[in-house]
Structure 1
Amino acid sequence: MVLGAGPAGENVAGRAASGGLSVALVERERVGGECSFWACVPSKALLRSGHAVAAARRVAGAAQAVTGEPDVTGTLRRRDSFVDEWDDRRQVDWVHEAGVALFRGSGWVAGSREVMVRDVHGTTLSLRAARAVVLATGSVPSQPDVPGLDEVDFWDSRAATSAERAPGSLAVLGAGVVGVELAQAWARLGTEVRVVESGPRPLPTMADFAGELVGAALRADGVRLYPDSVVESVSRTPEEVTLRLSDGTDVSAEHLLVATGRRAATGHLGLESVGLHEDGAVEVNEHGEVRGVSGGWLYAVGDVTGQAQLTHQAKYAARVVADVVVARATGRHVTTEAFSRYMTSANRCAVPAVVFTDPEVAQVGYDPARAERAGHQVRTVELDIDSVGALLRADGYRGRARFVVDERNEVLLGAVFVGQDVAELLQAATIAIVGEVPLRRLWHAVPVFPTVGEIWLRLLEAYGL
């Protein structure tokens, strides 16, 4: 039994079914989940039109051909095509083709291997899993404790990615990944955007230069940033919503987007029935098995575990869990070596992530402070991305990159790339970290001229190879 049919739940269900198990999948909304319909896919579709126009304007010859702004109607129509016009029939068909039974409704745990499902008609079903129950219910937006916020209508990320028109103005509370991506997406579609951030720069958990470069790009797009700001109250008139900041400044806009993070969706899962707290993330071991529940039958994957809130990491954990469940069901001995040798380290120190702003931010692994806390002898190498390949891609190309190196073993611990089209550099860095490839061997992995990837050679040379 799998509760939740987002990317994590789909992967558990499909892989377990292909391993010969009978699988039931429970979903109360759309099959495909948050990523497919309200997050990753529609947000990147909204960003792409503005990015394409901006990229053309950075190339002499192409710039002269750009005579207008991105078309809002065309952009929204393209976004709608990527979410199948908000219809999940295609993904439901896949579930059926995979031999998985789909239950439409809300599911919760009612005891050992027991699941209750209340379907769309209000009928409650009692189901029992012979082998395992997997929690894959994802996460939900967190709401900050700001006076007046409960009394106004505001956008969450779902509303911001599914809007049917470009608002005249938009205030964004929060400058993390969701905040900066959607701020830039709507700004490039003609919306007047203001971003209120609690820290000195956007993307506060990432490298300082990442936030600085993204902040500069947002300002160039006409976005007004309010750094180091504390919101004292929120109010609304029929025409606009207003944030009152602690310095007395009022920030007003037609809509307010609250983008202050997400929390594990464990409410109403019935976890108290198996001795767990109802609120907060579910802690799991290296096999995805929920800690504190005996019997080896309850597992969890994805955002609900409180680990990296990234679709690709959730799908990775889902594959591990499915393999473990199938192995146990077929009598094979489950060992860390066979099933999840690298799962703990992959979730701790080799998580790749991309912020799809322009410039992109692509990072994987440790930052210098985390690497030192983990006991590594750290050396950092940082350079501007200014190779011929980068300059051919865009006139005045601006970018920066950083390597974090374990000096004892001369292996890569972390990497950050900021610039146009740098996301495609990230997989090589992830392979180098997971594979613990010595830098002296990486030196012989010759980057193609002229590409942005030449930064690999420049960083290795700056290290001294």
Structure 2
Amino acid sequence: MDGDSQTSTYDVVVIGGGPVGENAADYAIRGSDRTAVIIEHELVGGECSYWACMPSKGLLGPGSALAAAAALPGARERLSDTAPDRTGVLGRRDEITGGRDDSSQVEWARSAGIDVIRGHGRIVGEREVAVDERRIVAREAVVVATGSVASIPPIAGLREARPWTSRDATNLIDVPDRIVVLGGGVVACEAVTWLLDLGVRELTMVVRGNRLLPKNEPFAGEMVADALTARGADIRFGTEFESVERPDVADTGYGRLHGGPARVTLSGGDVVEVDEILVAAGRKPATRELGLSGIGVEESGPLGVDDHMIVPGHPWLYAVGDVNGRVALTHMGKYQARVAGDVIAARAEGRNLDSPRYSAFADHGAVPQVVFTRPEVAAVGVTEEQARADGIDVTVADMDIAVAGTYLLDPDYSGHAKLVIDRARDVVVGATFVGAGTAELVHSATVAVVGEVPVDRLWHAVPSYPTVSEVWLRLLESLR
């Protein structure tokens, strides 16, 4: 860094201190004498560390462990209760998030040679960012990694009722007795899973479409819906909020009940009275107040980029993670950040960008994701419907998961798997696994999709016995 008290100069300036911004800064300067700074107005570590991935998986883990034990004779007899201990679960969640103390993350950044500035970063010119009265100038690049924020649909009375968003759900302190969840995607399904674990008595899911997890293969949403219904969830498909009334509203903070009971009128006229409302109806890129209009970039909607993660027309400006609208997943944002960091480093050193490492192509059709419901949903690539819409002539391997490894996990194991194969190229373009223990299957499928491994070659990738991964052999056998 150099400059006076009001102006500082770095090689790389990153706006947004989540894991995506951290990776971009780290890769851009690692092993060099270049300098970087992260500008963050909340917590270094970002949404994932304190309000999303990490606390949500912390909340889901105990219920999953108890369900696994309850499935096995010899273990189930030792269980006095299959419901997780509420105090223990929330305590573990707080341990994972560090009580929303980001000091260890700041320490990591500084140990990596990255400075941290607290405040809102605003682009005020080419390679120039303002934080209050301070100006920060970038020699090489400005990287926007501001993520996304929860969307609240424009429904009468909903915003005024101060509904929970995902931040409240992952940081809950009060467990509502009755709750209505708006949405049927990943956030909604995972939240419903842990809310039921923690003892919510009445839980209603309001889903505009006709299935859960609509971006996945249909069987995935069906199996998750069946499991949630069996645990007591009331899922209303083809239904929407019409209006919300909550006379006693209070700004009580994350995870507290935000006032008294609410009355939610649904399409069709039904009224649901609840103690809390959780809105899990999507997210939108956090591009407001970045000053983008001042450099000729649209402020509403995602910040579009090419595969180098560069904003077209602004060769010094990069956007990575949720903010660019490509894929709203932490691991894919970190992938984009690694690409962007490598591109910045290469350009700073005068190297060409011919290598595949400088182009983010995986998020066009090889995106892996795990939904940590019970059962788990693990998928990568395209669904059969998406492949056919893209004009691909596909063949499909589709079957229940029933191998020795699953029987050892649970004598009554229930799971399903599907491969989508491009017939012309004889390569896997999509894979979906649903069932306990399937989260660890998705990386092998990701390698197959990204590597475009011919199906005949996959025959020689022998699964270990007795594991759930033996389903790969059964799927390939079905294609013979």
User: Do these two structures clear the TM 0.5 threshold for a shared fold by scoring above it?
Assistant: yes
- State, as a whole percentage, how many aligned pairs show the same letter: 46
- Residue 131 of structure 1 is matched in structure 2 by 140
Q: Is 1:304 equivalent to 2:312 in the alignment?
A: no
CA distance in 2, matches of 1:278, 1:59: 54
5+ residue gaps in structure 2? 1-12, 249-259
1:66-92 Cα offsets, whole Å, 9 max, x none, are 112210000000011111121001100
CA distance in 2, matches of 1:204, 1:338: 32
Q: Is 1:426 equivalent to 2:442 in the alignment?
A: yes
CA distance in 1, matches of 2:184, 2:313: 36
Question: Aligned to 1:51, which of 61, 64, 75?
Answer: 64
Counterpart secondary structure, 2:121 = strand
Amino acid at match of 2:436: Q
1:35-54 Cα offsets, whole Å, 9 max, x none, are 00000000110111111111
Shifted more, 263-272 versus 249-258: the winner is 249-258
- Residue 5 of structure 2 is matched in structure 1 by none
State the superposition RMSD in angstroms: 1.2
Aligned pairs for 1:8-407 (under 5 A) are 8-20=20-32, 21-68=34-81, 69-118=83-132, 124-192=133-201, 193-238=203-248, 239-293=260-314, 296-335=315-354, 337-341=355-359, 343-344=360-361, 346-407=362-423
1:427-454 Cα offsets, whole Å, 9 max, x none, are 0000001111111111111111211111
- Residue 121 of structure 1 is matched in structure 2 by none
Counterpart secondary structure, 2:131 = strand
Shifted more, 146-155 versus 234-243: the winner is 234-243
Would the aligned equivalents of 1:287 and 1:339 in 2 still touch at CA under 8 Å? no
Query: In the TM superposition, what is the alpha-carbon distance from 1:182 to its structure 2 partner?
Result: 0.5
Query: In the TM superposition, what is the alpha-carbon distance from 1:340 to its structure 2 partner?
Result: 2.8
CA distance in 1, matches of 2:135, 2:319: 20
Amino acid at match of 1:231: F
1:348-367 Cα offsets, whole Å, 9 max, x none, are 11000010101000000011
Query: In the TM superposition, what is the alpha-carbon distance from 1:23 to its structure 2 partner?
Result: 0.4
CA distance in 2, matches of 1:185, 1:456: 30
Counterpart secondary structure, 2:311 = coil
CA distance in 2, matches of 1:457, 1:168: 46
Amino acid at match of 1:163: L
CA distance in 2, matches of 1:459, 1:147: 49
CA distance in 2, matches of 1:418, 1:200: 19
Query: In the TM superposition, what is the alpha-carbon distance from 1:229 to its structure 2 partner?
Result: 0.5
CA distance in 2, matches of 1:7, 1:22: 18
- Residue 416 of structure 1 is matched in structure 2 by 432
CA distance in 2, matches of 1:406, 1:32: 39
Shifted more, 73-82 versus 373-382: the winner is 373-382
Would the aligned equivalents of 1:26 and 1:103 in 2 still touch at CA under 8 Å? yes
Counterpart secondary structure, 1:213 = helix
TM-score, normalised by the number of residues in structure 2: 0.93
Query: In the TM superposition, what is the alpha-carbon distance from 1:339 to its structure 2 partner?
Result: 3.4
Shifted more, 131-140 versus 241-250: the winner is 241-250
CA distance in 2, matches of 1:436, 1:129: 39
Aligned length: 454
Runs of 4+ deviating beyond 4 Å: none
Counterpart secondary structure, 1:362 = strand
Query: In the TM superposition, what is the alpha-carbon distance from 1:230 to its structure 2 partner?
Result: 1.9
CA distance in 2, matches of 1:217, 1:373: 30
